[in-house]
Amino acid sequence: MLTKDIIDNFKNLSILCIGDIMLDKFYYGDVERISPEAPVPVFQIKNEKLMLGGTGNVIANLASLNIKTKYVGVTGDDEAGILIEHFLKKANCKYTLLKQKNYNTTTKNRMIASNNHLLRADKEDFLIFDDAKIQKFANTVEKEIKDVDIVLVSDYKKGLLTENTTQIIINLCKKYGKKVLVDPKERDFFKYRNADIVKPNLKEFELVSGKKFNTSDNDFKIKIKNSAVEVMNKYNISNLLITLSKDGMIFISQDKDPIQISAEAKEVFDVSGAGDTSLAVLGAALALGEDIADAMKLANLASGIVVGKLGTACVSPEELAEAIDRANGIHKLSQKSKIITLKEAVEKAKELKAKNKIIGFTNGCFDVLHLGHIHSFAGAKDVCDVLFVGINSDKSVKNVKGEKFPLQNEKTRSYVVASLEFVDYVVLFDENTAMNVVEQLRPDVIAKEGYKIQDWPEAQKVISYGGRAVELERIEDYSVTSILKKLDKMPIA
């Protein structure tokens, strides 16, 4: 059975990635009018995000899982190339870039409004390799391949992975006993011949095999295996792993029955980079010696996580561990995953806003939870999609209320609040007020009972940048003070 131990063992791996690297730029904004210059929408940019793309997304996913990575590839001697180096360093990737003059590093610019891709504008050149560059590439790959656990080859058809260079990689893997896993893009698998595993999607496999397949057919497995065996024999490929989108993936080898697993049902925001995540996690699991069925399950879980995020994204160890628990039928209380740092909250809010979600915020000490608090949380949740709750830390409560408080420590208070269905995320803060949280989180709406907007600095801040403040109705006779007074009057049993 697949267990979370595999995630802890990732840190012991070293993986070499080779393939086309690129820079992904995501521009998030709104479209509210048509241009007077031409019948086209006017896209107003609100924020932007830059990250590694192509093989770089494979590297980013490996790094996110604490796996040591190496990369061999090509960029131009341009600004995009410099940014790629920056992100590789940030990912702690040991890299060798064969920089080319007068070559545009591939850059993909995506415009996204209200969770919809409006346009993608690419800047790129097709890479031309001469004999001298090929020899330098071969020498570099041979140097880096010796002490890694597996080699992942990611082909985006930008020119790096020619028949010559791809065969150099595969032959060196054979020479040094390294398994090689290829994510292809060609309609002809000749350049991937002799690979251990080639991982096309169903459309790519249909182009190579020249046949169409329907995953709902009763004899789907038989048909696709017969065609897969023909392809493997033709190109001397040991195994094929074919991804089937919403239908999961299927592994086919010469002498065994096909292994097919289903995809997880997910709300899909964006499939960008899901194949890269699958390649990274599959390769890592195989490098640890996991059997192919468990490696596929893990890759499938990871892909299911990233398709729920906007833009090319990575899977974290925590997310993958929770997914493994769910897959194994272990349904843990979700409080811990709801309690996050302010930095995590800021990133989460940005991601949710890009999905057009309304971010709400309320705050307090919540020392002894009562009906007034529940009513307040319910009211705050009514005016937003995702509710963040700020909670004063123990230090903060003592500063505000005195040394006798809090009655319950911050961990207990956080867990109790996080248990409520109205609450999506909990953030602890040390300051006397929640102003710092509001300034960084920038919620769309702030809601609280017992405060008038004119006397409420956090509300004034939210209004100042275009947000909304809501005065919630207060339920009388419910407060920590009234509860303590009642306890004082109770006889001791």
pLDDT reported for residue 60: 94
- Say what the pLDDT of residue 473 is: 80
Q: Is the pLDDT at 308 greater than 70, yes or no?
A: no
Which of the four pLDDT bands, split at 50, 70 and 90, describes residue 245?
A: confident
**CA 280, CA 59: separation in Å to the nearest integer?**
8
Task: Name which of 317, 301, 319 is nearest 264 in CA terms.
Answer: 301
pLDDT grade for 202, boundaries at 50, 70 and 90: very high
With left for phi above 0 and alpha for psi between -120 and 50, is residue 465 left, alpha or beta? alpha
185-199, 218-232, 369-383, 425-439, range with the lowest pLDDT: 369-383
Place 265 in a pLDDT band, splitting at 50, 70 and 90: very low
Q: How far apart are alpha carbons 190 and 339 in whole angstroms?
A: 51
Confidence tier at 275 by pLDDT (50, 70, 90): confident
Whether 24 is a known active-site residue: answer no
**pLDDT given for residue 55 in this prediction:** 95
Going along the chain from its start, the domains and CATH numbers come out as 5-327 (3.40.1190.20), 336-489 (3.40.50.620)
What is the model's pLDDT at position 81? Answer: 95
Q: Residue 269: its pLDDT value, please?
A: 45
Q: Is residue 221 pLDDT above 80, yes or no? A: yes
**What are the pLDDT digits (tens) for 5-49?**
899 999 999 999 999 999 999 888 888 899 999 999 999 888 888
Q: Which of 196, 276, 367, 424 is catalytic?
A: 276
Backbone angles phi, psi at 148, to 5 degrees: -100, 165
- Give residue-wise pLDDT tens across range 161-181: 999 999 999 999 999 999 999
Whose CA is closest to 199, among 165, 161, 155, 236?
Answer: 155
The answer, yes or no, to whether residue 437 has pLDDT greater than 50, is yes
Contact partners, residue 482, CB within 8 Å, separation at least 6 = none
Among 24-38, 225-239, 256-270, 310-324, where is mean pLDDT lowest?
256-270
% pLDDT > 70, the chain: 91
pLDDT of residue 311: 57
Q: Residue 268: its pLDDT value, please?
A: 45
Three-state secondary structure along the chain? CCCCHHHHHHHHCEEEEEECEEEEEEEEEEEEEECCCCCCEEEEEEEEEEEEEEHHHHHHHHHHCCCEEEEEECCECCHHHHHHHHHHHHCCCEEEECCECCCCCCEEEEEEECCEEEEEEEECCCCCCCHHHHHHHHHHHHHHHCCCCEEEEECCCCCCCCHHHHHHHHHHHHHHCCEEEEECCCCCHHHHCCCCEECCEHHHHHHHHCCCCCCCCCCHHHHHHHHHHHHHHHHCCCEEEEECHHHCEEEEECCCCCEEECCCCCCCCCCCCHHHHHHHHHHHHHHCCCCHHHHHHHHHHHHHHHCCCCCCCCCCHHHHHHHHHHHCCCCCCCHHHHECCHHHHHHHHHHHHHCCCCEEEEEECCCCCCHHHHHHHHHHHHCCCEEEEEEECHHHHHHHHCCCCCCCCHHHHHHHHHCCCCCCEEEEECCCCCHHHHHHHCCCEEEEECCCHHHCHHHHHHHHCCCEEEEECCCCCCCHHHHHHHHHHCCCC
260-276 b/e (C-beta count within 10 Å ≥ 16 → b): bbebbeeeebbebbbbb
pLDDT for 317-347, tens place per residue?
888 888 888 788 765 556 777 899 999 999 9
* Residues 385, 386, 387, 388, Cα dihedral to 10°: -150
- What pLDDT does 270 receive? 45
Q: What is the pLDDT averaged over residues 436-454?
A: 91
pLDDT confidence bin for 196, thresholds 50/70/90: very high
pLDDT band, residue 146 (cuts 50/70/90): very high
In this predicted structure, the answer to whether residue 491 has a pLDDT above a threshold of 80 is: no
Query: Over the stretch 84-123, which tens digit does the pLDDT of each residue have?
Result: 999 999 999 999 999 999 999 999 999 988 767 889 999 9
Average pLDDT score over residue span 140-166 = 95
**238 pLDDT exceeds 80?**
yes
Nearest Cα neighbor of 198 from 171, 174, 226, 228 is 228
Average pLDDT, the chain: 88
- Model pLDDT for residues 446-457, shown as the tens digit of each residue: 999 878 888 899
